Structure 1
């Protein structure tokens, strides 16, 4: 007669190993349900911040930028000088938006938002709008505080992950729309236009690098990555730098007509 394994069967004839597995399975299902509920709750909290994000972006677009235009300097240079109350308010908005987007990115990286969150077109478009509008202010702030001298170039040492993440979402949408990966890679980062200008302004004339920037700029303007209404203003630091380039370069430049 075979002996029963007493570790698997209790005195009432119930398989305790199966009972343990069933309890463990229920606990796992409950934990998974609670985790997903937490992710959905996090998404609801983030979604509730959308109106605040839009409000701050609209203020930059409809109030701050037009006021800067009246000084013929553009909002990048105005923010860098920060001589007026409007610049202070723009900085407050910049800091608050950074906090919101860093929170969102942190939740994404920790897996604390539903799987489909990153693919939601409304968030991709809002993040792209944010990147295009606010990253120039971050670059301006970086150079205003001379962080390029202490830390190094913005593109290597200073660019926040929130902008890199937003750019990847934008590039993914371009791929879906039919643009080739090679073309996307070649087009580089339009919202970082000012970072390249700042680097070039501090170096001796580099013909190849300047020509590359000019070529990229046409595409960035077309794709609304760069606001041409501001960068070509009379007192824009970009315009002043470009006019300091060798005459032979300026005569053959694709920007000659825009510069007048």
Structure 2
């Protein structure tokens, strides 16, 4: 993430990898992303079956780690989906991302007053689906412009 920050951004460098180095880097990321997704899907499934008591230290660590994972990896899943020509990511969001977000939101409500804010990477957005909204807006804009064309000439 840090190496892509200066060039074109984390999301764009993953989605639009063109040079040999970018493609090699993307391939490494794909492997790490697959391992992380596998780990967190399993972890969420286990936690969903055996929830912890509210306020425990492990729970706080787990929510923090899960939220960081979601903010870091979900945009890559979004990039992959739109790169492959698919749309409407929000409708088809993986259940483990939905649960992580819901649990994080619930935890924020419980501990809002008592918890000290932690710093997060500046390039991570609060909304891990931000890029899905951007891509959907671009698709909508493109469709709108195509509808406004008259006899092949854009107005």
**1:173 CA drift (Å):** 2.2
Q: CA deviation at 1:147?
A: 2.1
- Checking the alignment, whether the CA contact within 8 Å between 1:76 and 1:136 is kept in structure 2 is yes
Distance (Å, rounded) in 2 between the aligned partners of 1:145 and 1:103: 26
2:90 to 128, 136, 155: 155
Q: TM-score, normalised by structure 1?
A: 0.43
Gaps of 5+ in 2: 114-125, 143-155
Residue 204 of structure 1 deviates from its aligned partner by 3.1
1:105-116 matches, cutoff 5 A: 105-109=44-48, 111=49, 113=50, 115-116=51-52
If the length of structure 2 is used for normalisation, what is the TM-score? Answer: 0.71
Look up the match of 2:80: 141
How far off its partner does 1:105 sit? 2.2
Match of 1:104 in 2: 43
Alpha-carbon distance between aligned partners in 2 of 1:98 and 1:118, rounded to the nearest angstrom? 25
Q: Which has the higher contact order (CA 8 A, sep 6+)?
A: 2
**Residues 81 and 89 in structure 2, CA contact (< 8 A), matched pair in contact too:** yes
What is the number of residues matched between the two proteins? 122
Query: After TM superposition, which residue ranges in structure 1, 4 or more long, deviate above 6 angstroms?
Result: none
* Separation in 2, partners of 1:192, 1:172: 18
Q: Encode CA deviations 1:216-241: one digit per residue, 9 max, x unaligned.
A: xxxxxxxxxxxxxxxxxxxxxxxxxx
- Give the deviation of 1:203 after TM superposition: 1.4
Q: In the aligned structure 1, how far is the partner of 2:53 from the partner of 2:34?
A: 24
Q: Distance in 1 between matches of 2:132 and 2:54?
A: 27
Match of 2:4 in 1: 68
Query: CA deviation digits over 1:181-202, x for unaligned, max 9?
Result: xxxxxxxx71111000000001
Task: Give the secondary structure class of the aligned counterpart of 2:77.
Answer: helix
Do the aligned partners of 2:74 and 2:129 also contact (CA within 8 Å) in 1? yes
Q: For residues 30-70 of structure 1, what are the alpha-carbon distances to aligned partners after superposition, in whole Å with 9 as ceiling and x for unaligned?
A: xxxxxxxxxxxxxxxxxxxxxxxxxxxxxxxxxxx121123
Asked if 1:125 is matched to 2:60, the reply is: no
Distance 1:92 1:143, change over 3 A: same
| C-alpha contact 2:45 2:96 (8 A) present in aligned 1 | no
